[in-house]
Structure 1
Amino acid sequence: MGWQHGQLDRRRLLQGTLALGGLAAVGGLAGCSNEGRGDGGSQVADEAVALPTHVPWSGVTTDLVGQDGVSDAVFAYPAEPVSATDRQPGDGRDVEAFSMTTFPAPPGPQSNEFLQALNERLGFALSVSLVPTGDFSARFQTAVAGDQLPDLFTFFPKGEPGLPGMLQERAVDLTQLLSGDAVTRFPFLANVPTESWRSAVYGGKIYGIPIPRGPQSSIVLYGREDVLSDEGVGMTVASAAELHDLCRDLSGGNRWALDKTPIRVLRQMFEIPNGWSEEGGAFTSALEHERQLDALEAGRALVADGLVHPDALVAPNPQRKTWFVSGTVLLMEDTFSAWPGFHTYEIPAGFLLGAIVPPLADGGGQAPIWLGSPTHNITAVGKRAEDRAESLLEVLDYLAAPFGTAEHLFKNYGLPGVHHTLQGSDPILTEQGKSELQLALRYLGEGPWVTYQAGSPEIARSQFEAQSATVPTAVRNPSLTLFSETESRKGGQIGGDIASVENDILLGRRPVTDWTAAVEAWKRDGGDQIADEFAEALALSAG
């Protein structure tokens, strides 16, 4: 058994981020929750669950310690990583897994030295069926409908219709094995922060292992600091008008300031809530905020003035990053987690990445950013593997070995001299490593995020400083741990409808004032029901 690449499913479901819709092709509707737990009437049980005890692992001393939600940073990989385990995980039987991936398919088991070495260390054959994220929802639902979920499977919180009921039927209840101090039997799972565990609770039961991200999913406006510095332009703007002026200064010829309209950053600048606002137990969608029209007008003006790349509508994200690295565009909206990824491209000499801290649109101070989801995805144990649940948790515990351990080094960088070379104590991936390691193991089991860039301590410091300037005051989405059945079933559809309107507005095809009617349609077609279900869930959780 070994790696398997999933065939594309013929069905295509609308890929959206539920309550506020999918990313619009130019601007991107954001503020969307990617978390959830419980079902209508189960929130009381959810609150009663004793979440796994958090026991931070202290085996590695970090160079910079984050405060108020900021991730720790490390400048160099430990020179002599210690083994954190003394035996092979699991029960010796082969394990099959189903997971998402954002990378091209790696070589199969017969020609993949990393997979061969991994299986030798595990003591069994790990077979991972990999599905591109764009096809994941359709493939996942096909597997559920056909009762084909394997020993381990990943899913996005709130990402599938009827998720609580599906988990009750298809996943193992792990509450007795993980609740409270029981998790300490799996020390690396106990190392996962409490906030991430909240999204693994559905119907009053713990149904999986969260993959923690801390603040890494928060949005930032990146800038080519090296180019801006050479042209005598700073990385600081004091208002939306100054951002527009900066974009005009950076555009011309075969160069544009922006890869796409940074509508999420603009919404932050206009102090629009992160997805939802809650007051007195009532929920209001950010789509209804009075300054939405101002943010959309600011985005429309950027496009109208030719400051956004003309292929923004159709270009995939890797193409956008190529533009950014080559200097075709100089500003790009992305997540903190994307920061290290820019350095996997062939970067020019002197390449320096920075972040523009968003100002209040009208000036007068710094705008609070939207805090991203603390959890990327969940890994569950399939119902048919219930008799192996404890041993499979051992496997996930092994995969969640913390940064700085020998297990983490191997999982992320493979064999020395084959998959990586050392630059000092830092592992630098070889071409073989970049190809063979893409088995999506980080989506099966992972420890808390540590800000680190092999061979480039200045990158870790820059990212830490950018987070320290923005994360402590970031605005949280109040619906993160609340489940709405309407959101799970209709959120993608109604979100896609309003995303289409947003696109047309940003491209100048429709007037900004059309937004009001689009929001009313969204509310009528399910948005108001989602708000009511969130309010009911919140009331139940409060007892």
Structure 2
Amino acid sequence: MRKNSHIVRAITGLGIVWLLAAASGCALSPPGQAQSGESGEAEPPAPEISMMLVLNQEEPPQDTILQQLQAMTKTKLSIAWVPDNIYTDKMAAAIAAGTLPKAMQVKAVDVKHPSVINGVRSGLFWEIGPYLKEYPLISRYMNPVIADNAAYYGKTYGIYWERPQSRQGIQYRKDWLDRLGLAPPRSIDDIYEVLKAFTHRDPDGNGRQDTYGLIDRGDLVYGAFKNIASYFGAPNNWGLTDGGLVPDFMTPEYAQAMKFMKKLYEEKLINPDFTVTSKTQQEERFAQGEAGMMISNVVASSMQYRIQKLNPEAVVDIANRIQGPKGERIWGGGGFGGLFLFPKASIKTEAELRGVLAFFNNLLAEDVNNLLTYGIEGRHYQLNGGRGTVKIFPDTQTLREREVEPYANALRTFDIRYLQLEETSEMQSKIQSMIQDNAEIAVQDPTAALFSETQAEKGAELQTIISDATYMYILGKIDEQGFAKEVEAWRRGGGDRIIAELNGEYAQLKQTKR
């Protein structure tokens, strides 16, 4: 009951509670607008901007950051905090009813939601691409690759909030490698040899053969499989051939990845229960020394801490560049966690749109970015002016989670930091460097900005056919012919329509860009 009461307090009417606060103090100005006192004219009233944001905690944040944010940006903000687990339904209901804020957050999983796509097609949202050159900070920090991934029909409708293009990599026990006299893996063959040694050569030195090379989990996307497929040269979800777009599971590289995983399973170099192992279980078993490698989203910094609590001599290291038939590649995402869209129903004029875009431009300014990232100096953190670094107060972590993190998660659009954490460990720095390097070799999904009606309607159901078939092949329950039959079932169930629809969209997109 207590949790439900929090949701009730966060949502009323159509699922919205508007949190209001007055603007005050000095602030940034929209492009071309004079600061107060420069022209001798009275300062115009603060523009009112309503927003609908995802809430990832039980209760809406206190107003501490909101008041500072309004003061810095010279705005009056009305924020609807909607809990994450019901956000999609509330977003669709708001679109259907036409009760939209001036800035509506759309999660990455919803950017192809039928209500959003139909809204774009029907002209419900502003196309903001032609205006962005007026906003220097947006222009400077917007990544063109991510912007293309987040586009609709080749046009920019939203400001994305950035996520790493790829956090994928290999985490391995360096102390085991050193004990066995092995070098870090640099190729697919190296990975196989390391996994075999971790399984059969007693890497932990306990005199027993009780370790696996690889610990994996039941997740084809964020576990080992998609990464291994990218090493072999498989496309990211969809690939481009002479005949047009094809799904990755219809490529020979995908088949090679399945054969490699099957080999690991047959030779017992991977935990045999990987298909039913959760992410939490995978990481815990790695920390306990059950296996020497994970190929997944890199969490080596926290993993190093967890392992050394059990074994102070243990050392974790990471790698990302693995040589395959098509060079060094890594599986990647679109690079964004969602979009802010700007409805015409609530933004009536270009002048009003420019005011809203100015607010998002100002979010990227140094003082505002520092506020959203770390909070208020003296309340949430201490500034080491000599180093230009931030030290978080340990005893205010709960306060930061309550007051700062909801805004950081929702309004930090592009991934820039003017100040760095003083406590950043060597491994955290190495992971950050790896993420930046991954952007150079990440395999992109060419359909990221495309839409298929059939995929929106039946995509999840059809993907289950392929996921199950992939697992069955790796586990030896079906052969190549059996897998081909499942692909045919996918095609008959709507897959051929998805292929046709995405290829039609792709052709139109190429025509638009000419």
TM, length-normalised to structure 2: 0.71
CA distance in 2, matches of 1:125, 1:509: 57
1:285-364 matched pairs, under 5 angstroms: 285-303=247-265, 305=268, 307-308=270-271, 310=273, 313=276, 315=278, 317=279, 320-321=282-283, 324=286, 330-335=292-297, 348=309, 352-360=316-324
- Once residues 347 and 412 of structure 1 are traced to their aligned partners in structure 2, the CA distance between those partners, rounded to angstroms, is 30
Counterparts in 2 of 1:243 and 1:489: CA distance versus 1, 3 Å: farther
How far is 1:145 from its partner?
Answer: 4.0
Alignment of 1:430-469 (within 5 A): 430=394, 431-432=397-398, 433-439=400-406, 441-448=408-415, 454-456=422-424, 458-459=426-427, 462-463=430-431, 466=434
Over 3 Å counting, the alpha-carbon distance change for 1:137 and 1:331 in structure 2 is farther
In 1, Cα distance between the equivalents of 2:196 and 2:27?
53
What secondary structure is seen at the aligned counterpart in 1 of 2:376? coil
Aligned mates of 2:343, 2:481 — CA distance in 1: 48
Q: Note closer, same or farther for the CA distance 1:384–1:311 as it changes in structure 2 (3 Å cut).
A: same
Q: In the alignment, is the contact (CA less than 8 A) between 2:238 and 2:248 conserved in 1?
A: yes
1:212 & 1:188 partners in 2: Cα distance? 15
Deviation at 1:380, TM superposition (A): 0.7
Q: Cα offset for 1:148?
A: 4.8
Deviation at residue 319 of structure 1 after TM alignment: 5.7
Shift of 1:522: 1.6
Q: Which residue of 1 aligns with 2:503?
A: 535
Cα separation, 1, equivalents of 2:45 and 2:138: 15
Matched residue SS, 1:541:
helix
Shift of 1:351: 6.1
- For 1:384, the equivalent position in structure 2 comes to 345
The answer as to 2:219 corresponding to 1:264 is no
Match of 2:52 in 1: 97
Gaps (5+ residues) in structure 2? 1-5, 15-25, 30-34, 37-43, 218-222
Quick check: 1:379–1:444 contact (8 Å CA) kept in 2? no
In the TM superposition, 1:413-492 aligns within 5 A as 413-422=374-383, 424-429=387-392, 430=394, 431-432=397-398, 433-439=400-406, 441-448=408-415, 454-456=422-424, 458-459=426-427, 462-463=430-431, 466=434, 471-492=439-460
- How many angstroms apart in 2 are the aligned matches of 1:469 and 1:207? 28
Equivalent residues of 1:281, 1:535 under 8 A apart: no
For residues 330 and 265 of structure 1, the distance between their equivalents in structure 2, rounded to whole angstroms, comes to: 17
| Equivalence for 1:56 | none
Which is further off, 161-170 or 491-500?
161-170
Change (3 A) 1:447 1:367: closer
Output the CA distance in 2 between the equivalents of 1:421 and 1:346: 30
Structure 2 residue identity aligned to 1:307: I
Aligned to 1:85: 28
Residues 311 and 125 (structure 1), Cα distance of their counterparts in 2 relative to 1, 3 Å cut: farther
- Report the alpha carbon displacement of residue 327 of structure 1 after superposing the two structures with TM: 5.2
Conservation of the 8 A alpha-carbon contact between 1:98 and 1:150: no
**Displacement of 1:379:** 0.8
Superposed CA RMSD: 4.3
The structure carrying a bigger helix percent of its residues is 2
Q: Are 2:362 and 1:398 aligned?
A: yes
1:159 maps to what in 2? 112
Shift of 1:534: 2.9
Is contact 2:112–2:451 with CA below 8 Å preserved after alignment?
no
**Using the alignment, how far apart are the partners of 2:484 and 2:293 within structure 1?**
29
Return 418-427 or 266-275, whichever deviates more: 418-427
Match of 2:170 in 1: 221
Asked if the contact 2:199–2:212 (Cα under 8 Å) also holds between the matched residues in 1, the reply is no
Kindly state the Cα deviation for residue 525 of structure 1 after the two structures are TM-superposed. Answer: 2.2
Aligned partners of 1:234, 1:262: CA distance in 2, in Å? Answer: 21
One-letter amino acid of the counterpart of residue 446, structure 1: T
**Is residue 235–residue 356 contact of structure 1 (8 Å, CA) maintained in 2?**
no
Match of 1:174 in 2: 127
Per-residue CA distance 1:453-501 (angstroms, 9 max, x = gap): 6533734652465457655444433333333333333322211332233
Q: CA deviation at 1:329?
A: 5.4
Letter in 2 for 1:389: L
Residue 413 of structure 1 deviates from its aligned partner by: 0.7
Q: Does 1:194 align with 2:144?
A: yes
The alignment covers a number of residue pairs equal to: 450
Q: Which amino acid aligns with 1:172?
A: F
Give TM-score, length-normalised by structure 1. 0.68
Change (3 A) 1:90 1:328: farther
Change (3 A) 1:519 1:139: farther
**Higher mean C-alpha displacement, 256-265 vs 142-151:** 142-151
Who is 1:127 aligned against?
79
Distance change in 2, residues 1:312/1:494 (3 Å): closer
- SS of 1:277's equivalent in the other structure is strand
Question: Which of these two proteins has the greater Rg computed from alpha carbons?
Answer: 2
Distance 1:226 1:257 in 2: 16
Could you say if the C-alpha distance between residues 329 and 426 of structure 1 is closer, same or farther in structure 2, counting changes exceeding 3 Å?
farther
Amino acid in structure 1 at the alignment position of 2:459: G
* Equivalent in the alignment of 2:157: 207
Contact 1:237/1:243, CA 8 A, preserved across alignment:
no
Deviation of the 1:434 alpha carbon: 3.8
The residue that corresponds to 2:241 in the other structure is 279
Q: Secondary structure at the residue paired with 2:360?
A: helix
SS of 1:242's equivalent in the other structure is: helix
Check the 8 A contact 1:369/1:473 in 2, yes or no: yes
Assess if the C-alpha contact under 8 Å between 2:49 and 2:102 holds in 1: no
Matched to 1:173, the amino acid is W
- Secondary structure of the residue aligned to 1:439 is helix
Q: Secondary structure at the match of 1:406?
A: helix
Which secondary structure state, in structure 1, belongs to the residue aligned with residue 405 of structure 2? coil
CA contact (8 A) 1:199 1:210 kept: no
Q: Give percent identity, aligned residues only.
A: 18
Which stretch shows the higher mean deviation, 471-480 or 528-537? 471-480
Deviation at 1:284?
A: 1.9
Alignment of 1:516-535 (within 5 A): 516-535=484-503
Report Cα offsets for 1:422-469 as digits up to 9, x if no partner: 565322444232443221544445224579765337346524654576
Q: Quote how far apart the aligned CAs of 1:267 are.
A: 0.9
Distance 1:445 1:434, change over 3 A: closer
Q: Give the SS at the match of 1:386.
A: coil
- Are residues 525 and 378 of structure 1, via their aligned partners in 2, closer, same or farther at CA, if it must alter by over 3 Å? same
> Where in structure 1 are there 5+ consecutive unaligned residues?
10-82
Cα distance in 1 for residues equivalent to 2:493 and 2:341:
32
Equivalent position of 2:132 in the other structure: 183
Distance 1:495 1:526 in 2: 11
